Structure 1
């Protein structure tokens, strides 16, 4: 089932005149899409939704929203429906119901608001579809007003990777069990770590529950992996273990470092920092090679960046900063990692392979 934060599946469907419409066509570039999913468009209640949205189409357009309605009817039937409901927007024909099914519409109507990056950001209720969509789109645009960029680290910010409920659950896991963690050493033992408070001060919980791991990995696969493929042209196939890290006020920090400089970490290609809460001060992510800009995703939002980038977590000065942390890599890096592990094991050195 598609949820907030997921990418809307691409599709090509004929409109009411039989013309094929691509959901990511240039005509929709930079615009939000209000998708009306009407599996039973002959139902008076679903036709009422069409009529209501038709009367407010101008307001939607002014807010940068294009309306698309998908029905199970033929193009000819949609043409008649469009005339009867006085809808000025396109009605798309999904006669076999494949797209309606992918978008989670059964017998009942469904509306979803999709942002300019094809990400689902809201599910407006039937009684206030356009009004809700306009409010959500206006709010989203307010947070992305155009600014002149003087310097920018090559990082990727991704909102809504985890829900508020997901974030709370992960923080509760950390509260139940956590340990102080160090940094990878130059020792070729692939899992060796040492505590160095001059460099890092953080307590972690490594997630072990298979169901929670599966849930988080599913979110990352659906909401992060496609963005990395698009933005960085890299195919992620492997994740490291998932860690929940916490930095406390007056004692939490991670000085400038790179994430792939030791034998135990050489396989890492991209790092993920996902913020779980907002009740803290300080604790910014900074990439000093690219300027003094500070990064702080909203709860549930992530920053993804190359492990070759120098970065730091500034001192937490108030509250407690919770993050979900992992690293991504591909098949070639996985094979190299396995080779290092086998070499370490053959030499009889302790190698807590799964700790990296």
Structure 2
């Protein structure tokens, strides 16, 4: 019978193919990498065996380091003297408590509020003055984008109000650009504070409340406010048109975006020591409209330590981690004492295996 179609009769002989080079094989040989430990992933690696003799000393060392650091941080935080007074509701007349927005928007109402504070402990200079706002989302995307960085540092870009809407031009017109433009500058905090101790007025210094990098790089020395707060709706504070933006410390501090809805911003400093038991009269001008978004306003007087202001979180975090490591080291030590295991017993027993692709890793613990 004749051979079927496609059988070995139609195939080329081996002798004819042996005399020709296979192009596929040639390409494979040509692309074959040079044999090295790096290309074959045979480089030496450290594969430590985590035994209790290794883990327990490390945990003890971490505990011995972290616990003293945590105690030192907590002690530094406790030395900071801090006074916090919320005044957004206490400085509103009783007959206007039902309509706080109308109170703050009425320019004919006197918004001056005076309170007497008693210093609980000695406060050494400088005493930092902060204002604290709650429920104010400065990190909102629309609020963050409503500014123009080129306009803030370059006087030739005064008319560049891109991304500044809806506060880009005075009275909504395009011919009168606002400098600085945007919602962030328009909503500038405008509450003011003054302090007195008896008959002595305590001077509030605004020098150095902003960062040097911001004054020199983000806000121009030759950029002056223009058409600021000249619209029909006033958002916040005013700026001195005779001072460049690099000298407007309150604006620079306000333009720094806060990450959380509750934040503090530096208002000024008092370069006078206050003794425990002294009475300080604080006169507050409650002008900022935090009632529209149900926000809170507070005045904060604080000293500073070698770690900054009063904040016990860092010390507590170090302390918790150090105590956890110490307790874990103690627990492992008790387990090794109560349930001792020799090397031969551990080798004979079946250790727990964890399966990974193309390998099996066995973890053995020796006490």
TM-score normalised by the shorter chain: which range applies?
Answer: under 0.3
Give the number of the structure whose alpha-carbon radius of gyration is greater: 2
What TM-score do you get using the length of structure 2 for normalisation? 0.21
Higher-strand-fraction structure = 1
What TM-score do you get using the length of structure 1 for normalisation? 0.21
